[in-house]
Amino acid sequence: MTTRSAVPLRHGLLSISAAAVAWGLGGAAAALLLRTTGLGPVAVCFWRFAVAAGCLALLPARRGRAGARGAALLTGLGLAVSQCAYFGSV
């Protein structure tokens, strides 16, 4: 008989809540940065992805998957374009 722990559920709900708050504040933060510092959508997008790339670089790389690095690069590029378009429209 298997038992389930409530910890993963709480962790999942906390993660989803944090992502929702971050998503909701993204446009407002970009508009505030444009107004106060003059950073445009491309600059905000660049700094967001530069910080994220630095954080991801600290994670250990998985070995044995040659195509994973290329797929991650293409995914990151697609997300960067998407975020720039989003901030440009906000």
Question: Domain range holding 23?
Answer: 7-89
- pLDDT tens-digit series, residues 36-50: 999 888 888 888 888
Would you state the pLDDT for residue 72?
A: 73
Q: Does residue 79 have a pLDDT over 70?
A: yes
Q: Domain for residue 1, yes or no? A: no
Residue 26 lies in a domain: yes
Domain count, the chain: 1
Is-contact 19 54, C-beta < 8 A?
no
Return the minimum-mean-pLDDT range out of 27-31, 46-50, 52-56: 52-56
The residue with greater pLDDT, 24 or 58, is 24
- Average pLDDT estimate for 70-80: 78
pTM for the complete prediction? Answer: 0.56
Residue 2 within a domain? no
